[in-house]
Structure 1
């Protein structure tokens, strides 16, 4: 997915808005001043995420930036973790049954002093009730600092480019939508996933789009479902994500973008066209994933020992890389 045009300022760059939302989350959902150093020392904390949360954070915040925000340790939610009784834990997870069960397990084990639960997208009420029940049983209700729906279910790779997901791509793909044996329930689940991601994009940007699509295909299903979700949210000003305090990060804009949703069956030739740019070449020939490329050592470099395998080197293709910024679009 790509935005409609080049960014002109901080408020117009979706990537910057997602970074600001993540920094606010890591500041325990308190506003952080932009362009200046915080007056007080950050609260030192542990960041717990799943693979979806890791994919969102890794292209946006480096390890050094996480440390500047007070993150001393970042761990996968399903990894073995030891008790740190005086630490503040910030969770950034998809609201799945497995993740909620692990949160409940952490509460019962009293792993941390405070729990700030941030879900990538809205958590269903039954799962939220499970968290509440576990915290009551573990007698740790005062330790639950906040529970937030962050609506950050997309991955910003560049200022003008984002993707909806990186994990489990096979479940949301052209093939999955066009399989001859695909059931109505499977197609509906795929469309709901796309709608949830696009809704997160516009909540983060603080804009309500004008939606256009062709009729009679999956694009129309997504457009109708997204339109209904946006209308239902805007209709109730008390719970709307586009009015009031909920736009503290995004800053609601009255300039409405145009969202064009197309079914790939309408244009089958475009994916076969190869873009002759350095960026496309790196993507095709090397292992490029989430703005990170992994290379094997050159053949003319001697290995550390005769029996050792080739070593890997990883490079982050960031805005600070002058060569990448200068040549990626050429």
Structure 2
């Protein structure tokens, strides 16, 4: 797309064709996790601008547009044509543009005598955001439109629900067009996930029926990574598991998302303010915000994002020591190079070390990049550690793991809530909700009143509990899957070894036990075609079958090799990491995780609070 929709071919000089990239907020969110400014420049993008900003005319430069086909965007493109802003226009729409809007552009081009300048118009079918090689979300702009709260509001109208489902289905359709594969769809019954499945099956079926214009034939299929077997799409509803999104976690990526401002692979940290005292009456200085990109290009992040936090802290320290050793070697060799030529000893040392020096200097850029990553992760890990220590997050994590695995508790839930030194009011509410959700027998009204008082005394807002209480009552009527949680031994904990410069004393080095979360258990049953009470009544859709009949689960139960798990109502990094860990044990299998929105526990708690306000 950034190369005018043709395979990359360098010009005779080896330089790319210079161009301008114009995007809207949706396009910006799709591109920013994938490409850095440097990578855009390498592709010939000299300037990247938002569509709805004041832009000067650059009449001798082509422009690549990447926008949603909304009314406002089309009007602005027409205005650009009338103002003759660029040499040529390559229009790329994130979702398919309607014929009427296409005609609006044609009319504007005709009126501005710019028909020949509109070089290409493409439907890109890219209405989703890729955060990892194996993870995607639907949208970031207007995400409240498809949020858990939006889907579960008690006063939602049928029309509003239809619109939400259509938005989700449009994005999922784009995802499968990009993948170049038609999935087998499985979903639970009687919830939003089923509504999405029905609509997606219909949309895929209609596209396949029109053989001439089908997006799943010919060249598009070559894009698919699923060449031999079709993938399985497992659509699950957030309501099957409300405990996991509230869970205090212990792995690096999920912790960064939980306690820091981490958004579309970028983390924003407040730089520590200086210790100098301000004059009396002076305004406090505005805190500097430093942004770091945690992307697929970051080798340390890729290696350790799923690791327990103490392991990450140790690894940062080891990387730092390794870097210092290399840095000293380079400095030593450089100083040898600068010695006086008359010194016979220096000359003999110089000849011995020339090869070493060449090697060291050639690896200098790599060394500097290593230093940048060490500094980055030192800052990020230090910020995370600060939260762990002040809020006792290791204690919360261990306690919740025991709750979720039905292990023996060494402290009562009331003691945890009442401890003034352990966590924020939000931490306490998260813990209690997990206890309430995972308990087979909910507490009696007398006990609940006692818990309510303790939570109120701790400064908690009880609105989320009001909603979860209603949810639990409804889930009980439809047999809550939380009762089927796998039994597991308690977590082993030991004190961290001393010696790390990350002062991690008092923070437990908890050994993670692989425990499949509900979403992972559901996937395991469906990808392996196992019989399981949780999934036996899941509906089955095959958009390639002439007649849609959800009872026609094939008799030859071959396990799937590829699967996409998609959570309607929002997902999180805890679930994603659990799937990543699960699939490592399954040789030859591949899983992608997607969700309608990505939230951390704080954001999810806020939605529960809004739903629980009376």
Whether 1:194 and 2:171 are equivalent positions in the alignment is no
1:2-44 Cα deviation digits (max 9, x unpaired):
xxxxxxxxxxxxxxxxxxxxxxx001000237xxx77753221
Alignment of 1:74-223 (within 5 A): 74-223=48-197
Name the structure 1 match of 2:293: 316
| Cα RMSD (Å) | 2.1
1:106-151 Cα deviation digits (max 9, x unpaired):
0011111100000001011211111111111111100000100000
Structure 1 38/110 Cα, relative in aligned 2: closer, same or farther at 3 Å? closer
Structure 1 303/151 Cα, relative in aligned 2: closer, same or farther at 3 Å? farther
The CA distance in 2 between the partners of 1:235 and 1:169, in whole Å, is: 32
Is the contact between residue 240 and residue 246 of structure 1 (CA under 8 Å) also seen in structure 2?
A: no
Structure 1 170/26 Cα, relative in aligned 2: closer, same or farther at 3 Å? same
Structure 1 144/247 Cα, relative in aligned 2: closer, same or farther at 3 Å? farther
Name the structure 2 match of 1:239: 213
The residue matched to 2:236 in structure 1 has which SS?
coil
Unmatched segments (≥5 aa) in structure 1: 1-24
Structure 1 38/304 Cα, relative in aligned 2: closer, same or farther at 3 Å? farther
Structure 1 302/222 Cα, relative in aligned 2: closer, same or farther at 3 Å? farther
140-149 or 178-187: bigger deviation: 178-187
The CA distance in 2 between the partners of 1:76 and 1:137, in whole Å, is: 24
Structure 1 152/243 Cα, relative in aligned 2: closer, same or farther at 3 Å? same
Give the aligned length. Answer: 303
Whether 1:294 and 2:271 are equivalent positions in the alignment is no
Is the contact between residue 91 and residue 116 of structure 1 (CA under 8 Å) also seen in structure 2?
A: yes
1:247-272 Cα deviation digits (max 9, x unpaired):
45447734211111112223333323
TM-score normalized with structure 1 length = 0.86
292-301 or 139-148: bigger deviation: 292-301
The residue matched to 1:262 in structure 2 has which SS?
strand
Is the contact between residue 303 and residue 310 of structure 1 (CA under 8 Å) also seen in structure 2?
A: no
Structure 1 261/100 Cα, relative in aligned 2: closer, same or farther at 3 Å? same
Is the contact between residue 207 and residue 214 of structure 2 (CA under 8 Å) also seen in structure 1?
A: yes
Name the structure 2 match of 1:67: 41
The residue matched to 2:20 in structure 1 has which SS?
strand
Name the structure 1 match of 2:547: none
Is the contact between residue 180 and residue 222 of structure 2 (CA under 8 Å) also seen in structure 1?
A: no
Whether 1:269 and 2:243 are equivalent positions in the alignment is yes
Is the contact between residue 119 and residue 149 of structure 1 (CA under 8 Å) also seen in structure 2?
A: yes
Is the contact between residue 16 and residue 43 of structure 2 (CA under 8 Å) also seen in structure 1?
A: yes
103-112 or 214-223: bigger deviation: 214-223
95-104 or 231-240: bigger deviation: 231-240
Name the structure 2 match of 1:9: none
Higher strand share: 1
TM-score normalized with structure 2 length = 0.47
Structure 1 172/304 Cα, relative in aligned 2: closer, same or farther at 3 Å? farther
Is the contact between residue 90 and residue 117 of structure 1 (CA under 8 Å) also seen in structure 2?
A: yes
Name the structure 2 match of 1:28: 4
1:304: how far off?
12
Name the structure 1 match of 2:366: none
The CA distance in 2 between the partners of 1:99 and 1:251, in whole Å, is: 33
The CA distance in 1 between the partners of 2:289 and 2:197, in whole Å, is: 43
Structure 1 303/201 Cα, relative in aligned 2: closer, same or farther at 3 Å? farther
1:236: how far off?
1.8
1:301: how far off?
6.6
Name the structure 2 match of 1:329: 306
Name the structure 1 match of 2:565: none
The CA distance in 1 between the partners of 2:211 and 2:186, in whole Å, is: 25
Structure 1 69/250 Cα, relative in aligned 2: closer, same or farther at 3 Å? farther
The CA distance in 2 between the partners of 1:167 and 1:62, in whole Å, is: 20
The CA distance in 2 between the partners of 1:220 and 1:106, in whole Å, is: 43
The residue matched to 2:189 in structure 1 has which SS?
coil
Is the contact between residue 27 and residue 94 of structure 2 (CA under 8 Å) also seen in structure 1?
A: yes
Is the contact between residue 151 and residue 204 of structure 1 (CA under 8 Å) also seen in structure 2?
A: yes
The CA distance in 1 between the partners of 2:146 and 2:271, in whole Å, is: 34
The CA distance in 2 between the partners of 1:215 and 1:233, in whole Å, is: 25
